[in-house]
Amino acid sequence: MNYAIIGCGLIGKKRLAALPENSKLVVACDTNLGRAQALVELAKNGRAVPDFNEAISNPQVDAIIVATINSTLAEIAGAAIRAGKPVLVEKPAGISSDEIDRLIALESEHGSCVRVGFNHRYHPAFLKAREIFRSGVMGELMFIRARYGHGGRMGYDREWRADPKLAGGGELIDQGVHLIDLAGWFLGEFEKVDGHVATYFWDMRVDDNAFLDLRTAGGQTAWLHVSCTEWKNLFSFEIYGRHTKLHIDGLGGSYGLEKLFHYQMKPEMGIPDTKVYEFPGPDESWRTEMIEFEKDIRSKRKPDAGLREMKAAMDVVQKLYKRL
């Protein structure tokens, strides 16, 4: 499959590295033409252009990856949909629920394949957790507790992510949508949204911490915290069922070895039976997600992480931001 990658920064490079076997880059696009040319050199194939319309209209391009700053994601994804090209758009796919709604309408009108980049669903610990969840051993789920954070870097508060017009928000719309999506993947739709956002450390007009209390119609709760004042990168995701606790710790790299702890309650309770799964090695979630994207296209199936899932997460984000 031939790809155009629009947005040739860090995430664009990750997507290039994750292209499935026999797929290739044919167009790299960035308003900074030097970045696009650097991606072409890395791929050893393709051509660099500065205009996303030129990339989308190229007849050699089979599918589009949109990896730009948040404020341009929806515009470019919309153009790709109207051109009849399958598109993988990075989360959050826009900076408002209204933008996501317009993409959903376009997707329906054109019958397009649109996937949102929620690569965390494809980390091996989460794939194993879903396998255990679907087996039924956990019983009814009760609540989820999760934390996700990093410590930023020098100048973080002067990057585009610190500008509300470009990013649409701060830590909540950045790492927060991952936790909201993952929690909803297990618990379902959240009908009650409580919590708050705060800016404790960084000199910026967006949040550097967000605290969420989300509840389903049945009262199941997701208790979530995302932060860019974590200082030591951290990922912890705990899922509590009536008979089981699953704990995903780490994401590899600076977040530490990815592990899944499976605690299975005994009939007599007491100390649970415990299994620990470890997942060393490089992060393959990006490649796994790209493979699933190509399966979406070839089988004409609905992506399991699409615009409606993004809309559900964005609705939570907007409810909290409106309380500021």
Q: What is the pLDDT of residue 306?
A: 97
Neighbours of 8 (CB within 10 A): 28
DSSP string, 44-78: TS-EEES-HHHHHH-TT--EEEE-S-HHHHHHHHH
The pLDDT tens digits of the residues spanning 71-129 come to 999 999 999 999 999 999 999 999 999 999 999 999 999 999 999 999 999 999 999 99
Q: What is the pLDDT of residue 192?
A: 98
Q: What is the pLDDT of residue 126?
A: 98
Task: Tally DSSP H helices, then E strands, for the chain.
Answer: 11, 14
Q: What is the pLDDT of residue 205?
A: 97
Percent of all residues in the chain with a pLDDT value above 90, rounded to a whole number: 99
Of 131, 27, 30, residue with least CA distance to 85: 27
Which run of H or of E encompasses 197?
strand 192-198
Contact (Cβ atoms closer than 8 angstroms) between residue 250 and residue 276: no
The pLDDT tens digits of the residues spanning 271-313 come to 999 999 999 989 999 999 999 999 999 999 999 999 999 999 9
- 195: left (phi > 0), else alpha (psi -120 to 50), else beta? left
Residue type, 276: V
Rounded to the nearest integer, the mean pLDDT of the chain is 97
Mean pLDDT of 180-203: 98
Show the domains of the chain with their CATH numbers. Answer: 2-119+287-303 (3.40.50.720), 124-282 (3.30.360.10)
Q: Is the pLDDT of residue 323 over 90?
A: no
Q: Is the pLDDT of residue 324 over 80?
A: no
Mean pLDDT of 197-204: 98
Mean pLDDT of 43-58: 98
